[in-house]
Amino acid sequence: MDYQPILQAIRQEDAPAVLATIASVKGHAYRKTGAAMLFRLQAGSVGSISPGCLEADLLARVPQVWQTGNMQRVDYNMNPDEDAIWGESVGCGGAISVMLEPVRGHLWDCLTEAGRRMERGETTRLIRELRGGLLHYRLESGLAAEAASEDPRFPQTLIVPRPSLLLFGAGEDAMPISRRAQEAGFRVVVADWREGLLTRERFPDAELIAGMPESIIAEAGIQSGGYAVIGSHQAQRDRAMLAALTQLEMGYIGIIGSQRRIQMLVDGLEASRLTPVHAPAGLQIGAEGPEEIAVSIVAELIAVRAQRRALRVKGGNGSENRRHLFGGWSQQTNGRTQAVARAVAGHYARQPRA
């Protein structure tokens, strides 16, 4: 889960707020254990833990939780076979337990510190412990955060920094990718050697870097396990960026373009370094035009991110179930292409479809 909006709201507004965290789930649920949202008594909520099923009921409990200063656990049984009230009206299914905690005192201290650590790129775990009948909080970072044991009575909150996504190429097709990737919880860095394309109007809230591939990687702080999409549509510079990124053991490298062009970019590169390359970038959903192609690319980014998280939890190395270099999750015939948005004389041209 992306905790950045919640932590930002807590740090920016020193106002009454209650944190709602899913403590346990049995059966189907919209969100998983550990998902959270913030109820602010004076400024609305941040995040969600259901598709609207629970928020109104939780909101009604928020004033009492804040006034008493005590954690409250609320259990919801939304199985229509067992609960005629919640089940019939909600239809979500499953049994969900939610913790409501007033964000004050030590919890406020821990969450604001977790926000600072997240900005430094640290993974942090918020640990809840019952001592002498009172709930206490502490933070673990780094390897200790990954290995922390869990008290089954209380959820632990793993706070992971937003993964970095480097968009190399600031053309028209990069703008919807930047916007949707930020909405999906990525820290987006847009880079290009053409400074005129790197404007705040075109890429609001993204980090902007002008330069050549080597200097861009250094300035952006791209590290092993990061994400990148290459699409400047200038072959020599795209090739230089690809060659540099394949030396970093990236988690994902997407290339926008036809397979003929992609083959030209990868020729001569060490095959073992091309494992994270997804080309053409994006899931094969029949996307056409920049907006739809942005959806397909960000969907693929989300899928790779989720797979890597799951493998990390299971102790995997992240290499299982990789798709082939060319297209989708199965090998395609060379020379055929997926629909890709390209800026040609100010217009978009569609590549031949696979």
pLDDT number for residue 13: 77
CB 215 within 8 A of CB 222: no
pLDDT number for residue 310: 76
Residue 19: helix, strand or coil by DSSP? strand
Q: 116-135 pLDDT, tens per residue?
A: 998 888 889 999 988 888 88
Give the whole-angstrom CA distance, residue 31 versus residue 301.
19
Residues 290-307 have a mean pLDDT of 95
Q: Scan for tokens 């200063």, then name that residue.
A: 69
Residue 247: helix, strand or coil by DSSP? coil
Q: Provide the greatest CA pair distance for the chain.
A: 71
pLDDT number for residue 44: 85
Name the pairing type of β-strands 347-348 and 134-141.
Answer: unpaired
The yes-or-no verdict on residue 331 having pLDDT over 90 is no
pLDDT number for residue 80: 55
The yes-or-no verdict on residue 86 having pLDDT over 90 is no
Q: Per mean pLDDT, which range of 18-32, 175-189, 302-316 is the poorest? A: 302-316
Q: 228-274 pLDDT, tens per residue?
A: 999 999 999 999 999 999 999 899 999 998 888 999 999 999 998 99
Q: Per mean pLDDT, which range of 87-101, 148-162, 168-182, 331-345 is the poorest? A: 331-345
The yes-or-no verdict on residue 349 having pLDDT over 80 is no
Residue-wise burial string across 14-44, b where 16 or more C-beta atoms lie within 10 A, e elsewhere: eebbbbbbbbbbeeebbbeebbbbbbbeeee
Q: Scan for tokens 């290009």, then name that residue.
A: 192
Which structural domains are found in the chain, ordered by start? 4-159 (no CATH), 164-348 (3.40.50.720)
The yes-or-no verdict on residue 89 having pLDDT over 50 is no
Q: 51-72 pLDDT, tens per residue?
A: 777 889 999 999 999 999 999 9
Give the whole-angstrom CA distance, residue 182 versus residue 188.
6
pLDDT number for residue 291: 96
What mean pLDDT is reported for the chain? 82
Position with higher pLDDT, 336 vs 293: 293
Residues 127-147 have a mean pLDDT of 81
Note if the pTM is more than 0.85. Answer: no
The yes-or-no verdict on residue 39 having pLDDT over 80 is yes
pLDDT number for residue 127: 92
Share of residues in the chain with pLDDT > 70 (%) = 80
The yes-or-no verdict on residue 201 having pLDDT over 80 is yes
CB count in 10 Å sphere of residue 286: 11
The yes-or-no verdict on residue 96 having pLDDT over 60 is yes
Q: 332-341 pLDDT, tens per residue?
A: 333 333 333 3
